[in-house]
Protein backbone atom coordinates (compact mmCIF):
# COMPACT_ATOMS: atom_id res chain seq x y z
CA UNK A 1 0.00 0.00 0.00
CA UNK A 2 2.89 2.37 0.66
CA UNK A 3 4.19 1.90 -2.88
CA UNK A 4 1.41 4.19 -4.15
CA UNK A 5 2.60 7.11 -2.02
CA UNK A 6 5.17 9.63 -3.27
CA UNK A 7 8.79 8.95 -2.30
CA UNK A 8 8.96 12.02 -0.01
CA UNK A 9 6.07 10.76 2.09
CA UNK A 10 7.57 7.25 2.33
CA UNK A 11 10.90 8.77 3.44
CA UNK A 12 9.12 10.89 6.04
CA UNK A 13 7.25 7.89 7.42
CA UNK A 14 10.48 5.88 7.66
CA UNK A 15 12.22 8.76 9.47
CA UNK A 16 9.31 9.12 11.91
CA UNK A 17 9.37 5.38 12.66
CA UNK A 18 13.13 5.48 13.31
CA UNK A 19 12.73 8.53 15.57
CA UNK A 20 10.00 6.79 17.61
CA UNK A 21 12.17 3.69 18.05
CA UNK A 22 15.02 5.87 19.38
CA UNK A 23 12.73 7.59 21.89
CA UNK A 24 11.23 4.36 23.25
CA UNK A 25 14.48 2.53 23.79
CA UNK A 26 16.66 3.11 26.83
CA UNK A 27 19.16 0.57 25.52
CA UNK A 28 22.40 1.93 24.09
CA UNK A 29 25.89 0.94 23.00
CA UNK A 30 28.78 2.97 24.34
CA UNK A 31 32.18 3.06 22.61
CA UNK A 32 34.50 5.39 24.51
CA UNK A 33 32.72 8.76 24.55
CA UNK A 34 30.35 7.90 21.67
CA UNK A 35 26.84 6.66 22.52
CA UNK A 36 24.60 4.90 19.98
CA UNK A 37 20.92 4.13 20.77
CA UNK A 38 19.71 0.59 20.07
CA UNK A 39 16.59 0.49 17.90
CA UNK A 40 15.82 -3.22 18.39
CA UNK A 41 17.42 -6.12 20.26
CA UNK A 42 16.87 -9.88 19.99
CA UNK A 43 18.67 -13.00 21.29
CA UNK A 44 21.65 -12.92 18.94
CA UNK A 45 21.75 -9.37 17.60
CA UNK A 46 20.85 -5.69 17.69
CA UNK A 47 19.77 -3.03 15.22
CA UNK A 48 21.33 0.45 15.31
CA UNK A 49 20.85 3.59 13.20
CA UNK A 50 23.13 3.11 10.17
CA UNK A 51 23.44 6.87 9.54
CA UNK A 52 25.00 7.58 12.96
CA UNK A 53 26.83 4.33 13.75
CA UNK A 54 30.09 3.07 12.22
CA UNK A 55 30.41 -0.62 11.32
CA UNK A 56 30.96 -2.42 14.60
CA UNK A 57 33.03 -5.51 15.20
CA UNK A 58 34.47 -6.88 18.42
CA UNK A 59 33.56 -6.50 22.08
CA UNK A 60 30.87 -3.94 23.02
CA UNK A 61 29.01 -3.02 26.19
CA UNK A 62 25.21 -2.68 26.18
CA UNK A 63 23.65 -0.33 28.74
CA UNK A 64 20.10 0.16 29.98
CA UNK A 65 20.20 3.75 31.13
CA UNK A 66 23.29 3.95 33.33
CA UNK A 67 23.45 0.21 34.13
CA UNK A 68 25.58 -2.14 32.06
CA UNK A 69 23.49 -5.23 31.31
CA UNK A 70 25.41 -7.17 28.62
CA UNK A 71 28.86 -7.56 27.18
CA UNK A 72 28.57 -8.78 23.59
CA UNK A 73 31.00 -9.98 20.92
CA UNK A 74 29.93 -8.79 17.45
CA UNK A 75 31.06 -11.00 14.59
CA UNK A 76 29.20 -9.39 11.66
CA UNK A 77 27.39 -6.16 10.84
CA UNK A 78 25.40 -5.33 7.71
CA UNK A 79 23.23 -2.40 6.62
CA UNK A 80 19.58 -3.17 5.80
CA UNK A 81 16.86 -0.52 5.30
CA UNK A 82 18.81 2.20 7.10
CA UNK A 83 19.61 -0.04 10.08
CA UNK A 84 22.97 -1.47 11.04
CA UNK A 85 22.25 -5.12 11.91
CA UNK A 86 24.90 -6.56 14.27
CA UNK A 87 25.07 -10.30 15.00
CA UNK A 88 26.51 -11.63 18.26
CA UNK A 89 28.78 -14.60 18.74
CA UNK A 90 28.16 -14.38 22.47
CA UNK A 91 26.20 -12.21 24.85
CA UNK A 92 27.11 -12.35 28.54
CA UNK A 93 24.96 -10.83 31.27
CA UNK A 94 26.85 -8.57 33.65
CA UNK A 95 26.50 -9.33 37.37
CA UNK A 96 27.53 -7.48 40.52
CA UNK A 97 29.22 -10.49 42.10
CA UNK A 98 32.29 -12.37 40.88
CA UNK A 99 31.84 -15.76 39.26
CA UNK A 100 32.16 -18.75 41.58
CA UNK A 101 34.82 -21.32 40.82
CA UNK A 102 33.07 -23.98 42.91
CA UNK A 103 29.61 -25.52 43.21
CA UNK A 104 27.46 -24.11 46.01
CA UNK A 105 25.07 -26.58 47.67
CA UNK A 106 21.51 -25.27 47.98
CA UNK A 107 21.03 -27.01 51.34
CA UNK A 108 24.31 -25.86 52.86
CA UNK A 109 24.11 -24.05 56.21
CA UNK A 110 24.30 -20.29 56.13
CA UNK A 111 26.90 -20.16 58.91
CA UNK A 112 28.69 -22.38 61.44
CA UNK A 113 28.64 -22.05 65.23
CA UNK A 114 31.98 -22.10 66.98
CA UNK A 115 32.67 -23.96 70.22
CA UNK A 116 33.16 -21.75 73.25
E strands present in the chain: 27-31, 34-42, 45-49, 58-64, 67-80, 83-93
User: CATH number of the domain at 2-93, out of 2.60.40.10, 3.30.1180.20, 2.40.10.430, 3.10.620.30?
Assistant: 2.40.10.430
Residue 25: predicted pLDDT: 66
* pLDDT tens for the chain, residues 1 to 116: 567 778 888 888 777 776 766 566 688 998 888 888 888 888 889 999 888 888 888 898 999 888 889 999 999 889 988 889 999 999 888 888 877 788 888 888 888 778 77
* Per-residue CA distances from 19 to 13, 23, 39, 46 (Å): 10, 6, 9, 17
- Residue 87's pLDDT is what? 92
* pTM for this entry: 0.64
Amino acid sequence: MLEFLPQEIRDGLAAAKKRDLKRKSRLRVQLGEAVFPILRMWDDGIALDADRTPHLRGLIDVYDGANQIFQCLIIASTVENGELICEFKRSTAVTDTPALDFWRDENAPVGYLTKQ
